[in-house]
A and B are shown apart, each in its own frame.
Chain A
């Protein structure tokens, strides 16, 4: 699992990158997210330390950590994981990814992303079983929008 291809990395980007500052509120949201996705301390430490080295040190502070608002909204979408439909939606995402053309890099990145949410298995089934049993994806849930962009299901600009 590459650190930068994970939802937790995305959360760190939301927390830090809007104004180059991290608020205490963001830290608490990151803690909540860690618990919700069952991320171990060592996994989090690996991702966060990479993020500091690759991203944070190049940032310039320009505010008071206002990224916590976007982060709070996104962490709120993690409730999707409790939705019984999340399994089927992930499978359908896999199918859609395969149909739209999935490179090796995109597969690795997206599987890594879905894996951290505990949805790696249905997503892989959707891709590799060519979605035989998977339905069509009607609407991409907010939680999966970043990965949908990664695999080209949604335009980066949207």
Chain B
């Protein structure tokens, strides 16, 4: 029976939530296409994680083990998964849209003459796959028509993970053939660049600033607002790329993930890379000149206007209100 194969990613011996969401997307595809659902996990000593996966209402779990998979490399993962796909013949391959998947999945798909449909936020009948275009300002719907398997990666938070069930799926082991000479890249252990002196994660209130401030000279105005709120100042990536604020104040997929009581986004359009870092905030306020900016998708309160007018007015109103 042909199947949907979900490739689960482990990091430091743990399975992150996005993998359960990818399994949920796989389950949706399997139901729509009447296919069985298999999950695979790669690495060394992945057996305990495979045992954990077995409770996620799957038909089968495959533990793909090889000493050369102990550390992630694109060559090792492509070789292992190519052989697994040859063995299992899935018609759909579902992956979590992580930095690791972005590094190897396009090559894996190309090796099969296919193209990954990446960062998918919804699956409709057909199946049709929806992903975001133009920095989240537009949605696009895609279909797959190639002869080989359809490769799909799933955006974090887009699908609802199920709680584990009580029945365990059978676990198989698959040992790919990989030679050391086939691994061309030599990765180091991950490291953190600097010690974080700013702990945004524990801040109760955050004022975060984006590309919309236009010039570094406008930063003090936003700092005044942060002071009036008793908030930490943070930023989206472009501000840190420009060197206007240090990297340690960056919120988003490459920076810190925060969930304060109040998150006030100033001049941030709301690309997904930023949203994943702050959408768990209790109350989100957005100030942006474009009323259709994606940040308003997640905001509780919004003011569409020129931040150079709105920010000082807000600082003044807060100060007048005794804050």
The answer on A and B forming one complex is no
Q: Which residues of A contact B (CB under 8 A)?
A: none
Chain B positions near chain A (C-beta within 8 angstroms) = none
